[in-house]
């Protein structure tokens, strides 16, 4: 039986922490769909760097040639997406105990909305637990280099935006 998981998030932009989770999840799932989601809790509070289309394009570049990783956009409820796309599981990374409770609540309500889909969690790699899009944006915005924490296509795109003064 083929198992498909979705990995929802804002991915603004995708980091090495996300990539680590995706690669490791391929030991458990046959296919992983990176879902750039518009409706994750709190996402609206985050200032955007990249448009949804740009985020998708960056994920696509990173996983070019890897047939088991796809990328998609979701503009509604994640659990509605899961229902209409034959998804077996929602994948979420846990970086810290502070993530735990909001993830626990979200997993509980998602299960209420669609009890056929399970949420499974993986812990981020030990070298990457402190890498979040939010922290990286701040470091970059103040002139620090984030090259070590993002894949090459992201680093190039960030550098370009910084040079054009498009990032705050």
Residues that bind its own copies (CB under 8 A): 1, 3, 24-25, 27-30, 39, 41, 45, 76-77, 79-80, 88-89, 94-98, 100-109, 111-113, 116-123, 126-127, 129-132, 134-135, 138-139, 141-144, 148
DSSP tag of 43: G
CB of 120 to its own copies, least distance (A): 5
Q: Which of 18, 55, 92, 137 is catalytic?
A: 18
| 85's tokens | 């796309």
**Nearer Cβ to its own copies (3/85):** 3
Q: Which of 87, 92, 53 is nearest to 73 (CA)?
A: 53
How many Å apart are CA 63 and CA 23, to the nearest integer? 10
Q: Which of 95, 111, 159, 161 is catalytic?
A: 95
Q: Residue 46 catalytic?
A: yes
- Listed in order, strand segments (DSSP E) in the chain are 4-9, 31-37, 69-74, 89-94, 118-123
Q: Which of 10, 25, 132, 133 is catalytic?
A: 133
Q: Residue 95 catalytic?
A: yes
Q: Residue 23 catalytic?
A: no
Residue 128 CB contacts under 8 Å (≥ 6 apart), including other chains: 15, 16, 17, 20, 149
**Nearer Cβ to its own copies (61/125):** 125
**Nearer Cβ to its own copies (31/57):** 31
DSSP tag of 91: E
């Amino acid at each position: 039986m083929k198992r498909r998981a979705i990995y929802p998030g804002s991915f603004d932009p995708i980091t090495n922490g996300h990539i680590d989770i995706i690669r490791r999840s391929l030991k458990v799932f046959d296919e992983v769909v990176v879902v750039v989601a518009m409706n994750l809790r709190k996402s609206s509070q985050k200032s955007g760097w990249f448009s949804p289309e740009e985020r998708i394009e960056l994920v696509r570049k990173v996983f070019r040639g890897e047939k088991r990783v796809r990328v998609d956009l979701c503009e509604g409820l994640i659990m509605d997406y899961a229902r209409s796309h034959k998804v077996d599981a929602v994948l979420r990374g846990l970086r810290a105990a502070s993530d735990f409770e909001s993830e626990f609540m979200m997993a509980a309500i998602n299960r209420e909305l669609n009890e056929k889909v399970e949420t499974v969690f993986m812990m981020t790699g030990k070298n990457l637990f402190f890498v979040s899009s939010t922290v990286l944006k701040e470091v970059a915005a103040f002139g620090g280099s984030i090259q070590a924490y993002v894949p090459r296509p992201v680093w190039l795109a960030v550098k370009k935006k910084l040079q054009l003064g498009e990032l705050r």
